[in-house]
Structure 1
Amino acid sequence: MQKIKNVFGFTGLLAVVVLTVSLSNVESQEMDHSKMDMSESEMKNMDHSTMEMGADKMHDMKGMKDMGDMDMNMKNPDAMAIMKGKMIFQMSCFLCHGQKGEGDGPAARFIGPYSHPRPNKFTTGIFKFRSTESGDLPMLKDLMRTIREGIPGYMPSFRNMGEAGIKSVAMYIAKEFIQEDLPTETTIKYVQHVGPYIYSLQSVERGARIYKSMQCGECHGDDGKAGRMDLRDERKIMIHPVDLTRRETFGNGISHEDIYRTIMTGLDGTPMPGYNDSFAGKEDSAWDLVHYILSLQGR
């Protein structure tokens, strides 16, 4: 028992000694904050240049501020809209269409270099989806419609941007890439789908005869199922005619009015011509053809 007490006593004494030494070391290592005080003259003589970020590592704040040298008047509502359109374009549209509107965005690579349709190359001035004559530029509302509706299977709808956002993007595309004044009206006559132009069995029968006489089957097939497979677009990429029996293949819309517009204007950049001249003065026949096409879909 005495031996055990001696052991505990020695251990306790040793612990006291270690604790005392540790506290002494802590006190000796306390920082002398007085030595950290810097005189005013020393602060003035500091080399602040070593604290500055190199210009090559800084963001181009000027470019962000003026949004790309578009020489805008900030009090001009159109200029503000175009600025907004550029911001939206650079966040979303460039992925397919590219920063310069050349149709070569990073996402375009997944479509394949020889697949149709490719993202549009805005700088060529060739637009498939228009309400204007073949060879003419689209109107602003045409660009807006494509942005709003998208292209089934290829381009999503951006209607969630709202009409103001959609218009801003269309205005930016027109100013930055097309760089020409867009037409504000069209010479194509659009007859409303009312009165004598309403769908009927007789209209479908007349449309079937027109389909045959105008040789639409040369490309779309006698049954409308896109029989021809050797056509190419303006980029020499193979293109398949629309299967008229499947509405999901209609890139320019599937409503009665959309089909009427496509027949009249054609699809620039593709072998599909416009037939406005053919139907001039007999627009009722154009509606007959529309009704026949709809009948191929069981509508």
Structure 2
Amino acid sequence: MEYLEFEQPVKELIDQYEKCVQLGTESGIDVDESCKKIKTKIEETKKKIYENLTPWQRVQLSRHPDRPYTLDYINGLADEGSFVELHGDRNFGDDPAMIGGIASISGNTVMLIGTQKGRTTKERQHRRFGMSNPEGYRKALRLMKLAEKFNIPVVTLIDTPGAYPGLEAEERGQGEAIARNIFEMCSLKVPIITIIIGEGASGGALGIGVGNKVYMMENTWYSVISPENCSAILWRSWEYKETAATTMKLTAEDMLKQELIDGIIPEPLGGAHYDSATTFENVKKVLLKDIKTLSKQASEKLVNDRQEKFIAMGEFKG
């Protein structure tokens, strides 16, 4: 497992624990008591660090290379063998940065759509670090319309640093594709549940983020711009990214306080990557509850509530 800079005290203790266990195994000496003390110290240190994270540290955790990505969530949430990936926008091509398909979650049929980053260098390049081209958003919209046709709830998983900024993306109508998705999602006649599982940046996130319910995982962020780019614009340098992260109010707690999301899904101590199974179970509980509740509502109410939800954002209250 990789460790971030602020996690080094935890790494050092884990290294000590592993050496302690190895010593007992190789020498036959009883080191159980020493190992137990180190293990207790590990838990105490983790609580001290992870229960007092700064906004910038949460941004770093949201980008942790061991953190589960969309495909991991799909494999963890969907009933075994139920996910069928669907490809292409029926216009230009298939975008590997945006994936989607039909799946079953505890017997409930859903349309799963999400941005996918990569693990290896080659895969990251292939998926453009989770940054979608216009055909990715058009594929997502095609799948949403398919879900509407068969009255299937839509679940979107967001983890993107933004839409792909390349020249070819602009030539093929990046802005129009995102705007079209936002427009169409506002009137989609089936439930939409959105979860920020990592980074939620700019229109790249909002392009699949208009939901009846919007949640954030505990160690994620959601904003119009990244802290680094905000710092570059305001201070002409990335050096103030930590200040920007704090000022931007981009954490899950900040977003909930501003009533921009509906809830925060807890992660295991240390982040989702420490215990993916527990993370997926936490997400599944929320999804099943909302699918059950929202599926009972009339399509007109789903559409009206979704529109009112986003219209009310940013409203000034004197």
TM-score scaled by length of structure 2: 0.23
Q: Whose Rg is larger?
A: 1
Bigger proportion of residues as strand: 2
